[in-house]
Every structure is written in C-alpha cells, then in structure tokens.
Chains A and B, each alone.
Chain A
Amino acid sequence: MNISKETVKYISNLARIELTEEEIEKFSLQLNDILRYIEQLKEIDITNISPTAHILPISNVKRSDEPRSSLKIDEVLKNAPQKEGLFFKVPKVIE
C-alpha cells in the first residue's frame, strides 16, 4: 500500500481542500506511515464477522409528521459570509 503524491492530489480534490506542494509531500509520507500501521488489521480473520456500524441495539427511531417552527430568517442568515435579500450568496456555480 502506498499513497503517492498523485493520490494525495486526487483525494484532496475529492475533499475539496487545496494543499500546498509541501503539504502534499508531507502527507504522502505520513499517510504511508499510518497506513502501514493500519495494515496490521489484515492479520485478523474476519470471515463470518458482521460489521458494527451502530454500537447500540437501537432501531426504528422516527418522529411524527408534525411541523415545528423554523428558525427566524435573521437567525438563518446571521452567519452568512455573503447574502443578497433573503438568499445566501455564493460565487458563480456554472461557467
């Protein structure tokens, strides 16, 4: 298992994080260390073991279809880096 700098670039694009060349270099090395450590999981026999995605034996948690009050509009927009009218404003999405 080896994370090349190319892989780090591909992953950082998926995660929408811009990395400097220096960070790419560093992460590629450090992630390889970590993945080597993680490799030890391969020594365990996991045949017939079911995965545990939820640790609690909880299921069927639902709510009734009853309306609850929404936030006030000024609360909704108060943290917005940019807004216009009642909208959030973002850079142009489509070229």
Chain B
Amino acid sequence: MNRIPIGIRLNLKFDMEFETVIGLEVHVHLKTKTKAFCGCSTEFGNEPNTQTCPVCLGLPGSLPVLNEKALEYAVKVALALDCSAQEFIKFDRKNYFYPDLPKNYQISQYDMPIGLNGFLEIDLDKERKKIRIKRVHLEEDAGKLIHKQDGAYSLVDYNRCGIALLEIVSEPNINSPQEAFEYLKNLKLIIQYLEVSDCDMEKGSLRCDANISLRPKGEKGLGVKTELKNMNSFKGVRLALEYEVKRQKDLLSNGKKIIQDTRLWDENKQLTFSMRTKEEAHDYRYFPDPDLAPFTLSKEFITRIKDDIPELPQQKIENYVKDGDLTRKEAGEIASDKNLSLIYEQCIDIYREPKKMYNWLTGPVLAYVNDRKKSIADLNLEPKELAKLIQYVSNGKLNNTAAKDALFSMLDEVKDIDTIIKEKGLTQVSNEGELEEFIERVLKENSQSVQDFLSGKENAIMFLVGQTMKLSKGKANPKKVKEIILRRLRDVS
C-alpha cells in the first residue's frame, strides 16, 4: 500500500462529497382569454397600459371577481400533477410594496391553495424518479417595469398585471442540475398537454426560480441556500445551477460559508451574481382576501375536470413501449409533442407499423416542420394520408425518394396522397417492359461504366442504377432496376 503524504490526506478530508439539494418554483401564465380577476384581454405584445381597467389597475373602489376558466385550468394542472383534490380553497392577500403591483398586495393563496402534495416523474439514466410537488396555487401576475439605463427613472406597463398565474413549487428533492432540467421539461410537457398554457419562456409565460444548497452526503439537515433568478431558458436554469453547485462546493471545500442571498444568472458571462439588495425580512402579512368569497370544489366539479385530462406523456410512453415495439427513448420522442403523438396514434390505428411510423414522423415529417419553420400543430397532416403513404412504400407502389417528395407536396398543397401521386406521376415503375427501355438507354450511354463493371468494379452497378432512376424521374423501382441490369450484364459476359 502506498503511503499518502500528509498534506494530501488533509486535502482529501476537505474534499468531502456533497449532495446537491434543489427546489424549483415555476410560474406559468394560464391561457385564459381574460385576466384572473377582470375582463381585460391577456393578449401579448400590445401597446402599454391599453389592456387595463379599474380592477387590474387596482383603482380605489374596484373589486375582483374570479375567472372560472382560471380556476378550472389551475385545478386541472393540480390534478395532473397528482395533487390531492382540495375541497375548500380561498384567496389571500400577500402584502408588499412594488411599483409593478398596483394594489401593493398580490391576490394569492396561502394556506388553502388549489393543490397540495403532488409529484412528477422524471427519467434518469438508469432509473425513474418521483419529484415531489409541495403546492400548486393560483395568483395574479404583476405588471412590467422598464428600467431606463441612462435615466434616473423607471416606466410601468400594467398590461400583464392581473393575468392568471399558476405557481408550482417542488419539494427540495431535486438532486442535480440535470434532474432540474428533466423536471422542467416534463412539467412543461404536461402543462402543454393540458393546453392551459403556452409555457413560452421568451414571452414570459413560463418563469422559473431555483433554490439551491449543498450538504455533506448522508446528512439530513439542509445547508444554507441561495435563490437563483433571471434564467431565460431551461438550459439557462441548468447552467446556472451547475455554476452554483461549483461555486458553493468551492466555498465549502475551502472551509468558507455560504451566504443566503438572491443571485441573478448572467447569460452572457455565464455566472451568477448577488443582487446585493439590503435584504429586508419578508413579512407578507398574509390574510384572507375579504373581497373574494371562498370556493368549495364539489366532487362533481373535480370529476368533470379529471375526466377532461387527456392521456399524459408518461402514460403514452408506457403504451408506446408496450404496444408498439418502440424503445423508451423513441416513445419519448413521439410523446414529446402532443400533436405528434396524436398523429402517431391515429396512423398506427390505420396501419399498424409503429417502427416505420416512428421513422417517418421523426424523419421526413420533422424535417418538413424544420424546413418550413412550422409547428406540428400547424401542419395540414391527415393521419389517414400519411398511413397510406407509408403503406405505398411498403408495398412497392412508391420508392422512398418519391414518397418523401410526395409528403412534402402533400403538406404544401394540402391534397390527398393519391392526387399528389397522380399529378406528379410518382407511381413506382416496376413493369419490366418500361424499365427495359430506360435501362437500354442507360447502358448504351454509359459504356465506360459497363466496362468497369465487367472488369470487376462491382460499384459501377450503383452508378448505372442511379442513372436509370434519374432517367425515370425517380419513379423506377430501384430493386427491380438493379436486378434487370445485373441480368443483362451477366448475359453480355
């Protein structure tokens, strides 16, 4: 056994292993037509302060009335995240002063929120993990502040103010930046499946803050945490967390202490920095909002919402693997978009070839989406037509090239596949007589390649097949062509 120098031993002692503890707070805008407590539009991107009224401006004397859709959407998310259904919910006021908050209190929920104690599953390398969800509650969003870089003032736009906001708070049982990333991806996917939010981080319809601390492995208590803000993408969240893990580890390994603070992620410099505000003790003085009567959610209401929840991605993945011979990863790709999964399911109902369907959807179909910069939802894709197309490939009516061509035309021109084939004359030519004519010409015009083949260069055959395909404008059945050419050349020799 080697002797370890004493200095290194000491170092090892400090180089203990840490466990990362992360909790995420996610805010999503609910996709209601109007705001949470008034009838103003929630449309994004209009002139400042043009979507406001006495209620969302918090003018003296105005009163809130809850948007029933916001409540339904919120309950839907809570149930989809396996929260226990709450019978009694109420709204509370969270009191703090900020110029984007016109009443200087936010209508939120304190001790009787929409949902409690849910969970969400994520896929890790070797296992799946349940991330526990502490609470889901409904509140109103604040307005937007524009800080003048040069000037000594700020500007306020209240258009966003009052939009229904759902806050989803995880328990601190996320243990790595990657887990956080997976959690966010799955959460977003579930909410998108429910069609209650766009979850568009760029438009601010999804925002995420993170709490992170480290503790020596095996320890139960929590370490001092920092709060991270200002991440503009899920990748940004992961990077910020990775940065913070390293920063905290370095500090702790050197025997230093973590200071509890709020840190902002700087996307350009790829680091977090302290906001350095004089942290005031938060004393939000929550109390029940006297302007809003409480809500009792009946069993019938809960059942109705539950029945309205579509099959969620995790379940779809299970089904695809079980019934469709797809790997978990492949199933995940299909399930990663609700519309894609719907097309997939309808196609295999018509033509039960899951693998082929998977290949076509993740291949040519997504290629088309990317090429045309569209979303799957915007595609004019009839599952019936796609299924037919793939069937044609299988039974030899179309070759692959022609099929891809047909798919693009079908989507561009919004016509059924048979019309496209007819118009473009894409049917594969397998008729030997027709093919002979093409081949005759090709062999004549490419005598050098014929010689090459005959003298043993077997690859030359592919060139000849290619030329025949070209001449047939892609319609020839390549397998047949190769067969005939081989036969002819053998005859020659």
Which residues from chain A sit less than 8 Å from chain B, CB to CB?
Answer: 13-14, 16, 53-54, 56, 58-71, 73, 76-77, 84-94
Contacts and interface: CB of A to CB of B under 8 A. Distances in A.
Interface stretch (B50-58, B171-179, B238-246, B427-435): B50-58
Nearest 8 Cβ contacts at the A-B interface = A68-B39, A87-B155, A65-B69, A62-B68, A53-B288, A88-B156, A58-B293, A86-B48
A70 to B, nearest CB: 5
9 contacts: A54-B294, A58-B293, A59-B293, A62-B67, A62-B71, A86-B49, A87-B156, A88-B155, A92-B151
Nearest to A13: B280
B156 A65 contact: no
A50 to B, nearest CB: 12
Given A86-B50, A92-B153, 8 more contacts: A16-B97, A62-B71, A68-B40, A71-B53, A71-B57, A76-B52, A90-B153, A93-B154
Interface stretch (B30-38, B124-132, B182-190, B481-489): B30-38
A70 B189 CA distance: 33
Given A68-B40, A92-B152, A63 B65 contact: yes
Given A62-B66, A91-B153, A93-B145, A70 B51 contact: yes
A86 B41 contact: no
Interface in B292-320: 292-296
Contacts of A64: 67-69
A60 to B, nearest CB: 5
B259 interface: no
Nearest to A94: B147
B283 A14 contact: yes
B65 A87 contact: no
Contacts of A61: 65-66, 292-293
Contacts of A91: 152-154
A66 B34 CA distance: 7
B294 A62 contact: no
Nearest to A79: B59
A60 B66 CA distance: 9
Nearest to A16: B97
Nearest to B145: A93
A93 B144 CA distance: 12
A67 B49 contact: no
Nearest to B292: A61
B491 interface: no
A59 B290 CA distance: 12
Nearest to A61: B293
Given A70-B51, A90-B156, A59 B294 contact: yes
Interface in B266-294: 280, 283, 285, 288, 290, 292-294
